[in-house]
Structure 1
Amino acid sequence: MRRITVVIMLAVLLLTSCNTGWWEADRNAEPIFDKERINQYTINCYYDEVEKIIKGYQQITYYNNEESILEDIYIHLYPNYFNDKDSVPFTASEMYMAYPDGFDIGFINIDSLSVEGDGGTWGYTNSTGRVLRVELSKPLKPGEHIVLDMNYTVKLPRCNGRFGYGQRTVKGANWYPVVAVFDVNGWNLDPYYSFGDPFYSDVSNYSVNITIPESYEVAAAGVVVRSKKNGKGFKEISIVANRVRDFAWIASEDFKIKEKKVGDVKVKSYFFQDEGGEKALEVGAKSIEIFSSLFGEYPYKNYSVVAADFYVGGMEYPNLVIINKELYNKEGHFSLEYVVAHETAHQWWYGVIGNNEVMEPWLDEGLTEYSTILYYENRYGKETAEGVLDNIIGKRYKKYSGDKGSWEQSIHRSLAEFDSAEEYYTLVYYGGAVVIHQIREALGDQDFFNALKTYYKVYSFENATTNDFLGVVENTAGMEIQDRVNEWLSQGI
């Protein structure tokens, strides 16, 4: 996610000298992806524009791809963080922007749930109803799968955050029940923090049917395979989105839409103001072109840049990014360009390669922020990119660290360890980008860009860690740098 406060030139060479690298021995230098063992979400939902309610039926086919035997399954219910003013994911200073008309409740109720066709035993882990625990009648062994069916009701709040509706848009983001990630640390049940992007998810396949008033245009992840009117004032939209970490959709009766092809990728801009909409399309398309060249091809057919009632600058979702519609009005559109480029870079760092954004937020945000600099470098030249790096990122990071004196300067921390949103964004975004730049300086351009492309190739559609990233960097460059980078991450630069 890119806050509104923030107003590889070389073709990557395939590795030829590291044939015995650690990743080849363990992973054959190819992304491990078994389409027969990927989680599947089938969702049928109906949007009631009068009541601002989504009625949904959902089937989840969940695969145990870990080595542990599972006795239960945990499911995040993010909309229930909006059922109480004290738990909404906004800082106190942001409440008036998130709720310009005052607090409005949002929630999700699970109306029914069955496991493999039986009633099953399920309940909430506590009274807040934000995590659902499904007790399995028999253990789920490694390699096995189980099918969950549920019906639910979602109430959208009038809210200018990720989830809710506003003056011109309806935002279906983090809106449906999603299975938590089970990894070496067990089930990851972190809360919806008031800053950062507190999400951690596995790649899944989605088949989604949305029934919505026919006056609405819908931007969504994936590919629309069918859209038809039902003769009752509604249209039914069928969407398939494969190998994605989330499924978001944005709807409006006022959208203007333009599109452009970048190779095989259809880039779309959903907007309200013509000039800003054209700029968003141009930047989105150019970003896809640049980042595909630098890191590896964008692996999906569609990418959408969507203007919305969203007080934050921008937010990334697979195949789709949400952009504050007010940025489209800014003279010169510098902020719009910066935010669109940043969110587009997230399609590589978060979208294709995932990571635990709660425990290691610097990893995707540092790479994404520096990728934004690379966008400027490749589009406008090194001098412009250096100016952006020095004036927007470097000076803010150094000023903040200098002002704080003995303040904790560790960049590599979990969300829970940051005292404020200001500290988080300064260190994770700006500090993270500075660390990536220092890695580039230490390696030289050829090894640096080789490392990024190798990292992308090896960890596509998986969740990676800081150690995974630095392991690729060391092996690509043939030099020991991990201790030095860890020092930068722990002590600042």
Structure 2
Amino acid sequence: MKKWVSMVGCSLLFLTWMLPVNADEGTALTRKPLYRANVRIDPIKKEVAGTVTITFWPKDPTRAYLHLYPNVFTEEHQGMLWEELLGNGPTLGSYTNKKLLVDGVAVVGKQTKDLNILEVPLEGQKGPRKIVMEFEMTLPRNDGRMSYDDQSIWLGNWLPVLAVYDKEGWHLDPYEPVGDPFYSENADYDVNVTLPKDYQLASTAPDRAAKQVSAGEREKTIQLCAENVRDFALVVMDASYQRTETKVGETVVRTWWRKTDDPATAAQIHEAAAESLAYFHHQLGAYPYSEFDVVRTGGAINGMEYPALVFLDGRHFFSGEETGIVTVVHETAHQWFYGLLGNNQVKEAWLDEGFTEYVTLSYLFQQDPLLGAERVRRRLEQGTSVQYYVAEELRPWQALSAFPNNQSYSDLVYSRPSSMLWLLQGAWGEERVHDVLKQYVEKYRYQVVTGKEWEAFLSEMAGENASAFLDYWLRVDMSKQEQAAAWLERQRLKHQKK
């Protein structure tokens, strides 16, 4: 493999890694991982090859685990949920782990029973450790988050990433076909991408400021640097793509669309992205990244959020389609709930999806009252009609593996928590609810929050224990229905007296 240029351009961004860290501090922000990668992408052959170096402070001195999500798509999967995720006639990819080093010493990784997990042995020395992994893959073709068509390659959840070790231990969950089966912590990324000269890209990094560090007759290498992000996504596009840009505060919003797409629809999607980013910036707290990309992909993923970048599949860019507006607003709201404020999306998906959908409803209701009112009506109908789910013992507060289909996931994870917050807005008023959410985001910014922590935070803000209210709405405990209604009424009366 050709030797690539070494990376020096992000040295200032990651200077903290060269400074001593007080062993007693150990905070998430001072000891977040650093991913440095050299990758080559071949859009014609649909191949990606590279080396990633992960520098991190291990919480388990004996081993670490890597998520190798592309490996999931090297084998066939059966069942309705997989068919809905992958679409008709998906083709498999390939994935090869060519080299694995720990602190410069070759080691043998252990593939667990789940294709997406690789165990990496560590010796018990203290201080930061360094894992180097060389990989090659051919992309699968399907309707999901990592695939391609004739005009683009979209890479979501493609780089090896550390599994989370927290108070509960290791989180080594399998890749579920429902929901977003990911749980990650903030990190810094320094990624060199080599690709053909006539292709362009958008990524989690601020690409407008990216450096082209080398160029040959047919290839170019671009250096991408992203700080304090939960993941790193990338889209490679051919010359059929064009973009629209708008400055929102200190952030440039860019919408990438194809020349064959409907210009008016693309303009509506871009306007919704820019205006909703400004709205959430004001309502939920400052957006910290200098760029936000909305990228039209192929497939049928609908929409998918990543830090500073979201995917929208091409169906939203047809003439007369209005689904793109709602979808891009929802994915933009995810920049706060999932992006700035992380959670375990496998165990507590309602923590990002429910809050994201609530603020989406708030924005739509303000911007387009007719569209917003209809969206609210549908969510309230789906979120409160739960007799079937009570009988089936299904609830929002459960793991992805417990949802039998996407309809139950949507009703319980999107509709019921957003209905709960909408009714709280009726008691408190929008200004109060949004002020509480802004404080919530600020308190846990760049961290991972749990449902228990939200319960404690809401109780503190309400001035009384909110457990019965949340038990009814999130655990669908029907025995708490009257207590939940009484709690909400007390909150309404308390707010009226102020």
Q: Is 1:72–1:134's contact at 8 Å kept on the other side of the alignment?
A: yes
CA deviation profile, 1:384-437 (whole Å, cap 9, x unmatched):
5333201x31223445x3566733352211111112222111111111211222
* Residue of structure 1 equivalent to 2:10: none
- Hey, what's the Cα distance between the residues in 2 that align with 1:359 and 1:460? 20
Instruction: Decide whether the 8 Å contact of 1:259 with 1:266 is kept in 2.
Output: yes
Residues 355-397 of structure 1 show CA distances to partners (whole Å, capped at 9, x for unaligned) of 000000011000011111011133235x65333201x312234
Q: 2-side partners of 1:282 and 1:170: how far apart?
A: 25
| Counterpart position of 2:339 | 351
| Matched residue, 1:307 | 296
1:324 has 2:313 as partner:
yes
The match for 2:437 is 452
Q: Choose which of 48, 52, 56 in structure 1 pairs with 2:46.
A: 52
Partner of 1:259: 245
SS of equivalent residue, structure 1 residue 138: coil
The structure 1 residue matched to 2:382, chosen from 376, 385, 396, is 396
The alpha-carbon distance between structure 1 residues 229 and 139, as it changes in their structure 2 partners (threshold 3 A), is closer
State which of 270, 277, 281 in structure 1 corresponds to 2:270. 281
Q: Which residue of 2 aligns with 1:7?
A: none
Alpha carbons of 1:161 and 1:34: their partners in 2 closer, same or farther (altered >3 Å)?
A: closer
**2:383, 2:417 within 8 Å by CA — same for their partners in 1?**
no
CA 444–471 in structure 1, closer or farther in 2 if over 3 Å, else same: farther
**Alpha-carbon distance in 1 for matches of 2:214, 2:356:** 40
Match of residue 56, structure 2, among 57, 62, 80: 62
- Which secondary structure state, in structure 1, belongs to the residue aligned with residue 391 of structure 2? coil
Where 2:62 maps in the other structure, the secondary structure is strand
Report whether the alignment pairs 1:136 with 2:125. no
Q: Normalising by structure 1, what TM-score?
A: 0.86
- Asked if the contact 1:245/1:351 (under 8 Å) is kept, the reply is yes
Closer, same or farther: CA 129–193 of 1 in aligned 2, 3 Å: closer
Q: Deviations over 1:49-73 (max 9, x none)?
A: 3331111111000123x5xx43100
Is the 1:71–1:139 Cα contact (8 Å) retained in structure 2? no
User: Which deviations, in whole Å up to 9, do the C-alpha atoms of 1:428-481 show, x marking residues without a partner?
Assistant: 111121122233334443432221011000000000011212222222232332
User: Residue 157 of structure 2 corresponds to which residue in structure 1?
Assistant: 174
Counterpart of 2:230 in structure 1 is 245
One-letter amino acid matched to 1:256: Q
1:446-485 correspondence runs (5 A): 446-485=431-470
Q: Does 1:94 align with 2:76?
A: no
Superposition pairs of residues 374-453 of structure 1, within 5 angstroms: 374-381=362-369, 385-390=372-377, 392-398=378-384, 401=386, 406-453=391-438
Whether the aligned pair in 2 keeps the contact of 1:451 and 1:472 (CA below 8 Å) is: no
1: CA distance, partners of 2:390 / 2:474 = 17
Contact 2:389-2:395 at 8 Å conserved across structures: no
Please report the RMSD computed on the Cα atoms of aligned residues, expressed in angstroms: 2.1
Q: Does 1:85 align with 2:71?
A: no
Residue by residue over 1:296-329, the C-alpha shift from the partner in whole angstroms, topping out at 9 and shown as x without a partner, is 0111111011100130210001100000111111
- Does residue 1:372 correspond to 2:360, yes or no? yes
* SS at 1:322 equivalent: strand
Aligned partners of 1:443 and 1:477 also within 8 Å: no
Q: Which one is further off, 402-411 or 275-284? A: 402-411
Give the corresponding residue for 2:36. Answer: 42
CA distance in 1, matches of 2:78, 2:136: 20
Separation (CA, whole Å) in 2 of partners of 1:187 and 1:403 = 34
C-alpha separation in 2, matches of 1:394 and 1:35: 38
Task: Output the CA distance in 1 between the equivalents of 2:299 and 2:141.
Answer: 11
SS in 2 for 1:282: helix
Q: Which secondary structure state, in structure 2, belongs to the residue aligned with residue 261 of structure 1?
A: strand
Unaligned stretches of 5+ in structure 1? 1-31
User: Residue deviations 1:167-186, cap 9 Å, x none?
Assistant: 32201111111110000111
**TM-score, length of structure 2 as denominator length:** 0.85
User: For the Cα contact (< 8 Å) 2:304–2:312, is it kept in 1?
Assistant: yes
Partner of 1:205: 188
Q: Distance in 2 between matches of 1:193 and 1:113?
A: 27
Q: Relative to 1, partners in 2 of residues 1:482 and 1:446: Cα closer, same or farther, differing over 3 Å?
A: farther
Q: Alignment partner of 1:432: what SS? A: helix
* Runs (5+) with no aligned partner, structure 2: 1-25, 482-498
Q: Distance in 2 between matches of 1:34 and 1:423?
A: 34
Letter in 1 for 2:157: N
Greater relative CO (CA pairs within 8 A, separation 6+): 1
| Distance change >3 Å, CA 329–CA 294, structure 1 → 2 | same
Partner of 1:293: 282
Contact 1:447/1:477, CA 8 A, preserved across alignment: no
- Change in 2 beyond 3 A, CA 1:458/1:262: same
Residue identity (%): 30
Q: Which moved more, 1:41-50 or 1:114-123?
A: 114-123
